[in-house]
Amino acid sequence: MERPAVNHRILIGVLIILYAVGLVGFSQESLQPLFIELVPVHLLVVTVILLYTTHPLNTRVVIILAAIGITGFFAEVAGVLTGLIFGSYSYGPALGVKLWDVPLLIGLNWVSLTLASVIIVSRLSFPAWIKALLGGSLMVFLDLWLEPLAGPLHYWYWEGGVIPIQNYIAWMFFSVLFCFTLLRFGPKLTSPIAGWWLGLQIGFFVILNGVLW
C-alpha cells in the first residue's frame, strides 16, 4: 500500500516549530526539566519524519539501517563500559530507557544522522569513499556543537567535565564507516527534507550554545 502523500513543506514547517519550541524551552531554566523529559519523544518524531520522506525505503535499506543502529548501540555499550572508544563518560536521564547503561535511542540516533548525511552527500558526483568522508564530517560537525551541551542537557556526562579528542576521532571513524556502508550497499536515497532536517539540528545546537554559555 502506498503511503499517502504529505507536502514536504508541511513537514519542514513541523520541524521548524519543534526546534523553535525546543530553543525556547531549553533557554528557560524553569522549563528545562519538562523539555528534558520530552527529548525521547522529540527524537522519535523527527526520526519518523525523516524516514517517512526517504525514498526508497525498501527491505535492503531497512536491513542496512538496522545493522548501523545495532552496531552504533553496541559501540556505545563498549564505550561506556571500557572508556576506551570515545573516552570516559556515562549517560544521563534525558535520552530515555537504557539497556546496559546506554539509551536505546542512541542506536536510532546513529541511524537518523547517518541517513540524513548520506542523502545530502549523495547528490555529489564523487566516489563513495569521498562522500563517506564528507558525510562523516557533517556528523562530526554536529557533534562539535552538541558536546558542550550534553552535560547541561543531561544527555551524557564526561569524566572531569572534559571532552577528549578521542571522542571526535571515534565519532569520525564510526560516522564514515556507517556512511560508507549505506552508500556502498544501499541504493541512492533521496528525501526533500534531509538538508533541513540536519541543518535545523545543527542550528539548534549552535544557537543553544550561545544562549546557555
Judge whether 176 lies within some domain. yes
Judge whether 29 lies within some domain. yes
Place of cell 572508544: 85
C-alpha separations of 68 from 22, 52, 65 in Å: 28, 18, 5
For residues 155 and 107, give the distance between their C-alpha atoms in angstroms, rounded to a whole number: 14
Judge whether 172 lies within some domain. yes
Number of domains in the chain: 1
Judge whether 2 lies within some domain. no
Judge whether 59 lies within some domain. yes
User: pLDDT digit string (tens) for 53-110?
Assistant: 999 999 999 999 999 999 999 999 999 999 999 999 999 999 999 999 999 999 999 9
Residue range(s) defining the domain that contains residue 75: 8-212
Judge whether 89 lies within some domain. yes
Judge whether 3 lies within some domain. no
Instruction: Output the pLDDT for position 49.
Output: 97
Share of the chain above pLDDT 90, in %: 89
User: pLDDT digit string (tens) for 17-37?
Assistant: 999 999 999 988 889 899 999
User: pLDDT digit string (tens) for 125-178?
Assistant: 999 999 999 999 999 999 999 999 999 999 999 999 999 999 999 999 999 999
Instruction: Output the pLDDT for position 5.
Output: 54
* Close Cβ partners of 7 (under 8 Å, ≥ 6 residues apart): none
Instruction: Output the pLDDT for position 120.
Output: 98
Asked if residue 3 has pLDDT above 60, the reply is no
Instruction: Supply the DSSP symbol for 159.
Output: G
Judge whether 33 lies within some domain. yes
For residues 177 and 101, give the distance between their C-alpha atoms in angstroms, rounded to a whole number: 24
